[in-house]
Amino acid sequence: MDLLENMNAAVSYIEDNLNEEINYKEVAKIACFSEHHFKRMFSFIAGISLAEYVRRRRLTLAAFDLKESEIRVIDVAIKYGYSSPDSFSRAFQALHEVTPSSAKNSDVPLKAYPRMTFQIAIKGDVEMNYRFIEKEAFAVVGKKETVAATDTEFNPKLWGHLEEIEESLEPYNNTSFSGILHVSLTKENGDVDYYIATATTKPCPEEFEQLKISSHTWAVFTATGEMPEALLTTWERIYTEWFPTSGYELAEAPEMVRGINDSTEIWVPVKKKN
């Protein structure tokens, strides 16, 4: 099967198991990727994390169950993996803006998130310039923010203080890997630890947080054109064009955007596919 079929087969597995505990390792296996790569790729292409997609789909089906049958709220909560009616009610109300009990009324409007289908066009009609770099372990220091997987778009609050943060980092920018780094580390639950940082050999001061990054192979792409459009386009092409044909997949390490002089580089940790 090709990439498109693999991704849709993985979604089919998820859909068939929405009322069970989903084995994400099995999902990734069906897609022919590592679990880490599949979750990151899904998040980028779909625009939401895999965990958030599953949450929305379960709450969509829960609404159908409540509206179309006499099933009790507690039974629906258990069916879709919630540990208590209260936690189910909070999640349900956050999505549908009504309580589960009121959803049984025929005139109450509810939200429905349909099953996702991937339609990826592997074009390859425009060249992509990249290089591989073997980089030893290093440390970065900077400001950190955790961006929730449930956020509809990636828009860290730190961006409102970008110039101030960059200026405060300048005294720590003392390595050959110079420049400002925007570092994103995706966690198991889909949340992203985001840093505005710089590589340094200096001790981490109290106002910053440190992240140690182990040695890896990195595929480095240069984003050219008007920002931020060029950056977003390059990210999209990495996941929809370069990865599917490269023989590589995402390694378990942070991704980085590096601003150096007048250029913007995307650093993606990679490993050979098995």
Q: Cα separation of 165 and 171, whole Å?
A: 11
**CATH of the domain spanning 3-104, picked from 3.40.190.80, 3.30.360.30, 1.10.357.10, 1.10.10.60:** 1.10.10.60
Residue recorded with tokens 């965990």:
51
Give pLDDT, residue 119. Answer: 67
Q: What is the pLDDT of residue 151?
A: 58
Q: Could you tell me the pLDDT band of residue 131, with boundaries at 50, 70 and 90?
A: very high
Is the link from the previous residue into 203 a cis peptide, with omega within 30 of 0? no
Q: Which pLDDT band holds residue 1 (cuts at 50, 70, 90)?
A: very low
Name the region of 182 (left: φ>0; alpha: ψ -120 to 50; beta: rest).
beta
For residue 188, is pLDDT > 80?
no
Quick check: 162 and 196 in contact, CB under 8 A?
yes
**pLDDT of 170 over the 60 cut:** yes
DSSP calls for 93-107: HHHHSS-TTGGGSTT
Q: Give the domain ranges of the chain.
A: 3-104, 130-272
The single residue listed with the structure tokens 């920018």 is 173
Quick one: pLDDT band at residue 33, thresholds 50, 70, 90? confident
Q: Is the pLDDT of residue 138 over 90?
A: yes
Q: For residue 5, is pLDDT > 90?
A: no
pTM summary value: 0.71
Of 209, 175, 171, whose CA–CA distance to 193 is shortest?
209
% of the chain exceeding 70 in pLDDT: 94
CATH 3.30.1280.10 fits 130-272, yes or no: no
Is the distance from CB of 211 to CB of 183 less than 8 angstroms?
yes
Above 70 in pLDDT, residue 209? yes
One-character DSSP codes across 22-81: --HHHHHHHHTS-HHHHHHHHHHHHSS-HHHHHHHHHHHHHHHHHHHS---HHHHHHHTT
